[in-house]
Structure 1
Amino acid sequence: MTDTTVNPQSLPAGLVLAPQLPEILRPVKIRRGFIGFLRGHPTVAIGGALLLTLVLIAIFAPYLGTVDPTALAPAKRTRAPSADYWFGTDVLGRDIYSRVLFGARVSLTVGLSVAMFASAVGLAIGIVSGFIRWADGILMRFMDGLMSIPPILLAIALMALTRGSVGNVILAITIAEIPRVSRLVRSVVLSLREQPYVDAAVACGTRTPMIILRHILPNTLAPMLVQATYICASAMITEAILSFIGAGTPPTIPSWGNIMAEGRALWQVKPYIVFFPAAFLSVTVLAVNLLGDGLRDALDPRMAKSL
């Protein structure tokens, strides 16, 4: 290696070396790889680990010591938690442990499906509304009309027009959540279409579909991904509310809302019937929200805690 150190005595007369400046900023620690990303964002790691655990519980529910969640046993009704019945039994003698584990399938299916469908439809509406000016007034006025109705009331109204099923619950909640995504994407697109690189693409004669695909769509995925996590959590809560009031999934389907609805009459004497499904629902929503908060900090440079 060549030594680039300058000898002060070799400088021409009248020239001196400036003293070395002190290091004001600490050296940047570069973390690479998936493990480094999780270390830098522990909220993502905690939320992702909790959510992954619940997904595995839902997938392998038949192999976790469960029995048929719909099997009736009147002689064993309202048994307290014990070694035989870990979470106790309900008023019809059904094993609450089995019903809670199988209920995770319903809640996670509804949450993930609503987040996926609402994000896809809301993304399309938001991009078209934000980039095409003449379509903005039409689409956004319709979205404003939907947003004027509380999501839970809109879901109840839509469920009143159909029969209770998981598919109809997903459809009803998706329609109620689409305006939230479309408004977010539209606000992002409105700022992106004024950027110089978009003006340069327009000046070069690039067609509108190609501008959207190359320049607009990639920059909307990060905020939409964060929003999708909150929609997933909100959808699971809405599904539990609908099932709790009898407007969601049929009572024959073990969902956390149905379990809590069946045990509310015995809350003061048999609180475990409501406690376990409510605890699982709370942990699931917490995991999704932690994941969303962590992704927001990771994907938005303005939210970075350190440089």
Structure 2
Amino acid sequence: MASATVLSPPAATQQDVAAATPMPDVMPPVRPRKGLLGFIRRHPTMAIGAFLLLLMVLVAIFAPLLWTVDPTALAPARRTREPSAMYWFGTDMLGRDVYSRVLYGARVSLIVGFSVAILASVVGLAIGMVAGYIRMADAIIMRVMDGLMSIPPILLAIALMALTRGSVQNVIIAITIAEIPRVSRLVRGVVLSLREQPYVEAAVAAGTRTPAIIWRHILPNTLAPITVQATYICAAAMITEAILSFIGAGTPPIIPSWGNIMAEGRALWQVKPYIVFFPAVFLSITVLAVNLLGDGLRDALDPRMAKRI
């Protein structure tokens, strides 16, 4: 029997194969931006605010090294001197150097702002988490917070300062008490939405205790909004401290603060406006820096507000 011969197909040559046309790039290549320059390009608002705030912090820390003198030293013979090469910001009605007083005043405003932001955030976070997760405590706690919120913060701070003597510590306590209700209400709203999430309900069904649920599941998800709120509290606290000092209900006049400097120069505003102008500019820049930092943090921490993924 003759064996069958198996014929193999002819090998395809390069001319017989049709080359596919390369597809055009629909999406441009992703170039991740890294480093400090990339961070500034992604979050310019936060970068500007952080830079200005860091500059003010450095000014407050290194005020003794920035060609300043004793901010409380009196020199009646040199009072109300105009800004010059010797007195960069001029002198006030008691001959004190306004430049030195403004730089040292940054310490008071920053200490008050940071302290109030931290204390109000911590206390308000604890109150808001308890009120938002425990239904029985919600009605009692939030009615107290609503009563405090019905009073304007500045009036509540003035009333609290009227019961004590003027000092930086008492100013911090008074402003903190006035800001706690706003933080607690914000945290309560976040907790009310978080406790209905499936992972929280699963933890409850698994028998996890309430403190563990709050610590593991609720607390981490409240840090982002509370951080943004803390920046706004810091800015509001610095303004409130300046108002209290301006009306004589804040820090003692012997302590150089921006509010005290402006209060002492308001009588000579029409003839010597520089006494009020320079501390007002420093206060405005600091508050603007904190607000810019807060806006940048909001955009970076909130996925809905982010411009890029």
Secondary structure of the equivalent of 2:58?
A: helix
Residue matched to 2:278: 276
Q: Distance in 1 between matches of 2:225 and 2:22?
A: 43
Compared CA separation, residues 132 and 293, structure 1 to 2 (3 A): same
Compared CA separation, residues 135 and 253, structure 1 to 2 (3 A): same
Q: Distance in 2 between matches of 1:22 and 1:121?
A: 57
Compared CA separation, residues 159 and 20, structure 1 to 2 (3 A): farther
Q: Distance in 2 between matches of 1:113 and 1:239?
A: 12
Alignment of 1:97 onto 2:99: yes
Q: What CA deviation, in whole Å up to 9, does each residue of 1:204-233 have, x standing for no partner?
A: 111111111111000000000000000000
Secondary structure of the equivalent of 2:286?
A: helix
Residue matched to 2:13: none
Secondary structure of the equivalent of 2:304?
A: helix
Residue matched to 2:133: 131
Note the aligned Cα RMSD (angstroms).
1.7
Paired AA for residue 31 in structure 1: R
Where does 1:137-286 land on structure 2 (aligned, <5 Å)? 137-286=139-288
The farther-off stretch of 192-201 and 25-34 is: 25-34
Paired AA for residue 73 in structure 1: A
Paired AA for residue 301 in structure 2: L
Q: Distance in 2 between matches of 1:185 and 1:38?
A: 30
Query: How much has 1:39 moved relative to structure 2?
Result: 2.8
Query: Who wins on radius of gyration, i.e. which is larger?
Result: 2
The farther-off stretch of 37-46 and 24-33 is: 24-33
Residue matched to 2:48: 46
Paired AA for residue 240 in structure 1: A
Query: How much has 1:272 moved relative to structure 2?
Result: 0.2
Where does 1:20-59 land on structure 2 (aligned, <5 Å)? 25-32=27-34, 36-59=38-61
Compared CA separation, residues 31 and 129, structure 1 to 2 (3 A): farther
Q: What CA deviation, in whole Å up to 9, does each residue of 1:159-216 have, x standing for no partner?
A: 0000000000000000000011101111111111110010111111111111111110
Query: How much has 1:304 moved relative to structure 2?
Result: 1.2
Q: Distance in 1 between matches of 2:28 and 2:122?
A: 42
Aligned residues: 292
Query: How much has 1:284 moved relative to structure 2?
Result: 0.1
Residue matched to 1:86: 88
Secondary structure of the equivalent of 1:156?
A: helix
Compared CA separation, residues 224 and 24, structure 1 to 2 (3 A): farther
Query: How much has 1:33 moved relative to structure 2?
Result: 5.2
Paired AA for residue 253 in structure 2: P
Q: Distance in 2 between matches of 1:48 and 1:115?
A: 16
Q: What CA deviation, in whole Å up to 9, does each residue of 1:63-91 have, x standing for no partner?
A: 11000000000000000000000000000
Secondary structure of the equivalent of 1:302?
A: coil
Structure 1 residues not aligned, in runs of 5+: 1-8, 11-16
The farther-off stretch of 286-295 and 198-207 is: 198-207
Paired AA for residue 179 in structure 1: P
Secondary structure of the equivalent of 1:301?
A: coil
Q: What CA deviation, in whole Å up to 9, does each residue of 1:25-78 have, x standing for no partner?
A: 555443345653333101111100100010010001011100000000000000
Secondary structure of the equivalent of 2:69?
A: coil
Q: Distance in 2 between matches of 1:225 and 1:32?
A: 24
Compared CA separation, residues 20 and 158, structure 1 to 2 (3 A): farther
Residue matched to 2:64: 62
Compared CA separation, residues 194 and 29, structure 1 to 2 (3 A): farther
Paired AA for residue 108 in structure 2: V
